[in-house]
Structure 1
Amino acid sequence: MFSEDALRPTGLLRFVTHRFILLLALMAGASLGVVRAEDPEPADAQVGGGTPGGTIALTSSVTFTQNLTGHVYVWDQGRLRPAAQAKVSTGEALVRTDSSGRFEFEPEQRTGTLSIVKPGYDIVRRPIYYDQSVIVLRNLVVRAIYIPFGEVTKPEVQAWVHALVDRNLINAVVVDIKNESGQVFSIAATPTVEQIEASRDGSSVGTFLEELEGKGVYRIGRVVTFLDNTYPWWFRDNALHHVSGGLFLDGMGITWSSAYTAGARAYNIEIGVAAAEYLDEIQYDYVRLPYENGLRERFENTEAQRVAAITRFAREASEALHLAGVAVSFDTFGVVSTANNDQGIGQSVEGLAPYLDYISPMVYPSGWHPGSLGFAYPPAHPGPVVQI
């Protein structure tokens, strides 16, 4: 999947490093597990202090009596370095590593599992029953394709993707989980999704994603967020409105839910959390207000209020999804990366960045207004526009 030369340390270096970490374990004098991103799950582990003979089969019913402490490291220019500010979760509690890569959980916060998210590195999700653990993260260099909602359920498409993976042409996929119409695959269907009849059979998608996980593929789930042609019709108080009354319809004739309301924000976050079992990253798209004229809320709110609403969604999504053990990313308008305002849509890259692991600016030329970047018609100059 990953190039042995480009993405992993040499065999000798890995051997030496592994032995060095084991030496740290012996020096610590406690039960310590060493986990790498590509390691298989351990068969058993010591719980609560490493008493001889105290090994048990991994089970979610274990009661812990000791704190869980550990360190997270990354490979950087051939050296093992602490991974500061990595998000570490047990599913019950979420912490960030300090400057030395250290984290700690109280006994009541332990669940027997651990997930670690740090931008630029593969996600780690492993059973952890030792009282101390050292985790070494693997570099992540994504080569992905995007599979639309209507295509991913087709057996021939899934077979084609497997072939690309097996030929080492890709190591990641972006799969629609919720589309522009508001339809949601059943693997991410929440009670509200079921209530509004937005669920669509996704059993084959779940199987497909599990198969890709077995091949080491990094799986990104795209969730179309506030553009939604289903939810607003059921929850009009959580929708955007037209200045003349009624629900707002954009240029495509589609309704939008409102980032200003807690209900609309929670609805999309809960879908991401429900899908987390099958994914490594949730990518939110259409995380903004519509840019078309006639939006009542544009007149009722200032730029600061627009930006605050979208940024609040980023903060809430970050808390929930990092706790669930997945990375969080947003697609943003390319123009907001260079403009000195939010362009009326509520996006501020500077405001969003502290909460997200990745940001994907949509820099394709058709997203720029005539005259932008010195070009009368930017789409006629795709190379220079993207380069700028």
Structure 2
Amino acid sequence: MDGEDEDGEDHDARDLLEDLLMRLDWKNWLRSPTSRSSGSTSDPAASTSPAGFPRRRPVILIGVLLALVLATGGTLSLRSAHDTALNVVGLPSDGKLGASLVRSGTFEVTGAEGDQLKGTEVTLDERPLRTRAVRAGTLSVDLGDIKDGHHELRVTHPGSWPGGDTEVVRKLTVDTEAPHLKVSDTKAGGFHRPVTVRGTADGARRISVAGRTAKPAKDGAFAVRLPRPPGRTTVTATDAAGNTTRRDAELTVHRPLLKAVHVSAQGWASDALRGPVMKMLKQKKINAVQLDIKDELGEIGYDSKVPLAKSVGAAKGYYDAKKAIKEIHAAGGTVVGRIVAFRDPILATKSWKSGHRDRVVRTPGGGAYNGGSYGELSFTNFANKEVRRYNIDLAAEAARLGFDDILYDYIRRPDGPMAKMSFPGLGDTTPEQSIADVVGETRAAVRKHDAFLGVSVFGIAVDRPKEIAQDIGLLAQEADYIAPMIYPSHWAKGEYGVSDPNAHPYPITKRSLAAFAQQTRPTDAQIVPWIQDFSLGVSYGDKEVRAQLDAARSDGIDGFLLWNPGVRYHAGALD
């Protein structure tokens, strides 16, 4: 085609000119003729260039250039034979730099394959930046101290003739301030109901929650709807420069009112003991049964498939878990599975004898710690990864089987001075934090199966957290509810100003639970107290049990767990 021929002619003319300029050494041509030696006046026309061309004044070069321009229709574009295609790598295409990129402090400039980029200059607001060659055709550039605001980045590679420089100019906007993120408290209606996470994120362009994203409104308000509450999750706000702010969000699913009685594994296997409990459930005096999963002996009531339970012989199979759960559910109740965590003579004894001695609470000298009234080899080491995993695996297994709640007991260290105990694996953390971490890990594991998590605690823990490593404030952040064991018989005389707590169940219950309510108020954890329904020093019947329930209600606490180790309860107290 005609156009193609013309283009071809232009291309040939340009190539010819470029080749000519290279051969003529144009830089020398631009210099005025000079004498070869002092006192001689050589004729410039007689002088020749190294390429064999006559040396003339610049007017000759200008004439040649004009002639070629006219010959190509004025379309000649003079290029260096070694033009460099510059690329800026590592800076966003929109020029917006956030805090993470500013912290990294470097980016790269690359040229065409084989280019050495020798002589390339990089400036920021006309201030030279430090560069270094990292490989052929690549420079690493140090941004240096760059402030928030607008900047101009300029990369210049020198060409081999005037006007032949290659240059890249970038406008940069530096913004290192992260979005201001606030997440509202979120309460879900149930494990299987949708929930909306709300809050504000000033300056954010995108909000992410549990894999879902949303764009904030102009005022920063956002709402992200999730198909179901994921439990604890993270809300992330990201702005245009890539700055992020993260906030943990607890999507609370409150456990419905819990009114339960304790039933041991062997108690459930007894018709004489199970029958009255089921009668109370059908009469709606209670709405749940607390059934032991692992008890104080370390025995697991059903045939657990957890490997460590099998290897140490802890799974006893006193009852069929699925059958028991089905029976309780059919009667309109829920099932709370109790796990005695670290008081575990079976695991402690087997571990010690098999050489896994770090699973056991030790003495500073390396021996087994004597648990006082509980005896030697009665407590496992809460800081040991295998012990922790054992209890968490049992909780997860029970939740999969259909237990509605997991309730930890003995989630603590043994009684006695800390100086006489050693917990291999504890590291730099405190016993209180380590135990709270176990609770948090367990909650995440059972929440996957729509189960709640409760924690049984000593009454004294509310104001003496180091006594047995139960920090109520920490535990309340990790559990759905706290179950204080505030049995009147277990308080010393004079506690909370009550001269004889065992003989006065109402005031000791009211005052101690008020302290727990105060400690847990900053959290979403509920209080579900253990109520004494047994006699120890003072005979307890309907009146004494009812006095404790009335005291709890006066503190705004309606739920309860009745405890009787023999599984015999005063149903009249619940009328």
Aligned partners of 1:328 and 1:356 also within 8 Å: yes
Give the equivalent residue in structure 2 for 1:286: 410
Q: Does 1:321 align with 2:446?
A: yes
Give the equivalent residue in structure 2 for 1:38: none
Question: Relative to 1, partners in 2 of residues 1:355 and 1:202: Cα closer, same or farther, differing over 3 Å?
Answer: same
Distance in 2, Cα, partners of 1:87 & 1:315: 22
For 1:256, give the aligned amino acid.
Answer: F
Give the equivalent residue in structure 2 for 1:4: none
Aligned partners of 1:85 and 1:97 also within 8 Å: no
Question: Relative to 1, partners in 2 of residues 1:158 and 1:99: Cα closer, same or farther, differing over 3 Å?
Answer: farther
Q: 1:86 deviation in Å?
A: 4.0
Give the equivalent residue in structure 2 for 1:359: 482
Q: Does 1:260 align with 2:260?
A: no
Q: Does 1:195 align with 2:317?
A: no
Give runs of aligned pairs for residues 93-108 of structure 1, distance below 5 A.
98-99=197-198
Distance in 2, Cα, partners of 1:166 & 1:325: 24
Aligned partners of 2:360 and 2:380 also within 8 Å: yes
For 1:84, give the aligned amino acid.
Answer: T
Q: Does 1:248 align with 2:372?
A: no
Question: Relative to 1, partners in 2 of residues 1:306 and 1:151: Cα closer, same or farther, differing over 3 Å?
Answer: same
TM normalised by structure 2 equals 0.43
Q: 1:186 deviation in Å?
A: 2.9
For 1:182, give the aligned amino acid.
Answer: G
Give the equivalent residue in structure 1 for 2:491: 368
Distance in 2, Cα, partners of 1:96 & 1:290: 41
Distance in 2, Cα, partners of 1:360 & 1:232: 26
Residues 80-119 of structure 1 show CA distances to partners (whole Å, capped at 9, x for unaligned) of xx992449879xxxx985249xx8768xxxxxxx98699x
Distance in 2, Cα, partners of 1:290 & 1:170: 33
Distance in 2, Cα, partners of 1:363 & 1:242: 30
The counterpart of 1:175, out of the listed 281, 285, 291, is 291
Residues 294-316 of structure 1 show CA distances to partners (whole Å, capped at 9, x for unaligned) of 74228997996111111111111
Distance in 1, Cα, partners of 2:427 & 2:501: 29
Q: 1:155 deviation in Å?
A: 2.7
Q: Does 1:84 align with 2:183?
A: no
Question: Relative to 1, partners in 2 of residues 1:83 and 1:371: Cα closer, same or farther, differing over 3 Å?
Answer: closer
Aligned partners of 2:289 and 2:334 also within 8 Å: yes
Q: 1:332 deviation in Å?
A: 0.9
The counterpart of 2:275, out of the listed 159, 167, 188, is 159
For 2:197, give the aligned amino acid.
Answer: D
SS of 1:226's equivalent in the other structure is coil
Aligned partners of 1:87 and 1:322 also within 8 Å: no
Residues 111-132 of structure 1 show CA distances to partners (whole Å, capped at 9, x for unaligned) of xxx98699xxxxxxxxxxxxxx
Aligned partners of 2:304 and 2:310 also within 8 Å: no
For 2:326, give the aligned amino acid.
Answer: E
The counterpart of 2:265, out of the listed 146, 149, 152, is 149
Give runs of aligned pairs for residues 301-316 of structure 1, distance below 5 A.
305-316=430-441
Residues 150-189 of structure 1 show CA distances to partners (whole Å, capped at 9, x for unaligned) of 2111133333333222222221111111011111123444
Give the alignment's Cα RMSD to 1 decimal. 3.5
Distance in 2, Cα, partners of 1:283 & 1:244: 34
Please say which structure displays the higher CA radius of gyration. 2
Distance in 1, Cα, partners of 2:481 & 2:467: 22
For 2:422, give the aligned amino acid.
Answer: E
Question: Relative to 1, partners in 2 of residues 1:382 and 1:116: Cα closer, same or farther, differing over 3 Å?
Answer: same
Question: Relative to 1, partners in 2 of residues 1:368 and 1:162: Cα closer, same or farther, differing over 3 Å?
Answer: closer
Give the equivalent residue in structure 1 for 2:547: none
Question: Relative to 1, partners in 2 of residues 1:117 and 1:249: Cα closer, same or farther, differing over 3 Å?
Answer: farther
Distance in 2, Cα, partners of 1:378 & 1:169: 27
The counterpart of 1:333, out of the listed 438, 443, 458, is 458
TM normalised by structure 1 equals 0.62
Aligned partners of 2:383 and 2:426 also within 8 Å: no
The counterpart of 1:238, out of the listed 344, 355, 359, is 359
Aligned partners of 2:414 and 2:468 also within 8 Å: yes
Distance in 2, Cα, partners of 1:309 & 1:169: 38
